[in-house]
Amino acid sequence: MMGWWSPDPRGVLRPGDLVVRRSLQRSRRRYEIRVDTDFEGVVTGCSDPDRPRGWIDGRIVAAYIELHRLGWAHSVEAWDEEGLAGGLYGVALGGLFAGESMFHRRTDASKVALAALADLYDD
């Protein structure tokens, strides 16, 4: 059995509502955005057992990798010259993207990935 947690109310971010400050716009230039190039790396980064309040265990990692294989789960990744710097993953259903978790190894990488996701959905 696997537990499930759903906040009430759940946060909703509409793409056009995201305000990207000038400092984050500058940070965006440091990263290349990719989609689904290292889904497993993103989920693994999010599952780091040293993260405070970590909830992503091996069963959840395996479940989302299978959802990705089936075409439901996706990742948005921020890359730099050192590799995968951060990103986020979630499930896409029509025009909805239910973000599950995000992580960063370098400053602003997860925020840059979130801003890129908003841009993708805003188009």
Per domain, the residue ranges of the chain are 20-122
- Residue 104's closest CA among 93, 96, 115? 115
Query: Please, which residues have CB within 8 angstroms of residue 27's CB and are 6 or more apart in sequence?
Result: 107, 108, 111, 112
**Contact, 55 vs 4, CB < 8 A?**
no
Q: What is the pTM of this model?
A: 0.89
Q: What is the dihedral of CA 81, 84, 89, 93, to 10 degrees?
A: 50
Q: Which CATH class is domain 20-122?
A: alpha beta
**Contact, 78 vs 113, CB < 8 A?**
yes
Give the C-alpha separation, 63 to 101, whole Å. Answer: 14
pLDDT tens for 42-80 read 999 999 777 777 778 899 999 999 999 999 999 999 999
Residue 93: both structure tokens together: 């259903």
pLDDT tens for 15-28 read 788 888 999 999 99
pLDDT tens for 27-39 read 999 999 999 999 9
- How far, CA to CA in Å, does 99 sit from each of 26, 91, 96? 24, 7, 9
